[in-house]
Structure 1
Amino acid sequence: MRFSRPRSRAPRIDISPLIDVVFQLLLFYAVTTQFVTPERLKLQLPEARTAEAAKTTKPQEAEILVTSAGEILVANRVVSEERLEAEIRALLKGQAERSVTIRGDKGAPYGTVMKVLDAARLAGAQHINLVAAKPAEARR
């Protein structure tokens, strides 16, 4: 009597664990990535002979950047001029001092900086600081 041998199947490669690991790595890198901070953004501050020493920005203080291209960044996100007041108001909510710091690039359009100032006032900012650098001869 002949018994038939069970045919062995070719081994299959299960890629489910590989997909899980790749997804977890992708999620890890997305969570731990540092986004552009104001220090890494290449702003050339305008010079002012009467500029005071920079005080450290408090973590709860609202900081607005105006680039030379005229882009407005609130909390490191590009914001349109139409949404600017609402974004500043949201940042100031729950802030005791209601303070805003504006960092404008030397080549930033003057009109854009004025719109940011106006939006900060309309949003209820009580203290508005403009950041400038001291000229080279005054720094010595």
Structure 2
Amino acid sequence: MKFQRRKRVEPSIDITPFVDVVFLLVIFFMVSTTFTKEARLTIQLPTADVAPSEAPEQSIEISVDREGGYAINGIALINRQGDTLVRGLRELAAGNTDTPLTISADGKASHQAVITAMDAAGKAGFVHLNVTTQQPEPEARPE
């Protein structure tokens, strides 16, 4: 007597519903996400390849130290808050926001401290903003 063997069906998981759900979630998040425009400051970025330009007679310099402290024209501020920096800039400018403003930051200063200085300059109404750089030291050529 010969018995017929049943064909074995290999177990498998159908992932089609999973792909459908993931696709619907992606569409949902794309549609429901709100995009906000970040406030941007227009700044004039210097290049380090040219000789340093001479600064005009009247300018304001914000110095950012390694710890994130601020100084305006060499006078240290009492704290590191952006509002204090805005008040100091407005006092020093006395309404003349066309005065060139230069931000000089320590190489180890946090990016947040520099961005806070840029934001304070924008809030104070300054339109001419420069960020200083150092020229790279020339590499010694082996002879």
Q: Same fold (TM over 0.5)?
A: yes
Given the two structures, how large is their TM-score scaled by the length of structure 2?
0.56
- Structure 1: give runs of 5+ residues left out of the alignment: 1-47
Alignment-derived partner of residue 62 in structure 1: 60
| Pair 1:50-2:51 in alignment | no
Q: Distance in 2 between matches of 1:49 and 1:115?
A: 19
* Code of the aligned partner of 2:110: P
Q: Distance in 2 between matches of 1:129 and 1:85?
A: 17
Pair 49,71 (structure 1): closer, same or farther in 2 beyond 3 Å: closer
Alignment-derived partner of residue 124 in structure 1: 125
- Which 4+ residue blocks in structure 1 deviate beyond 4 angstroms? none
For 1:50-97, what per-residue CA distance to the aligned partner results, in whole angstroms no more than 9, with x for missing partners? 324322333421111001121100122222223100111122225373
Fraction of identical pairs, as percent: 27
* Code of the aligned partner of 1:88: L
For 1:4-52, what per-residue CA distance to the aligned partner results, in whole angstroms no more than 9, with x for missing partners? xxxxxxxxxxxxxxxxxxxxxxxxxxxxxxxxxxxxxxxxxxxx99324
- Structure 2: give runs of 5+ residues left out of the alignment: 1-44
| Pair 1:72-2:73 in alignment | no
Alignment-derived partner of residue 112 in structure 1: 113
Q: Distance in 2 between matches of 1:124 and 1:108?
A: 24
Larger Rg: 2
The number of residues matched between the two structures is 91
Q: Is the 8 A contact 2:46 2:133 kept in 1?
A: no
Given the two structures, how large is their TM-score scaled by the length of structure 1?
0.57
RMSD: 2.4
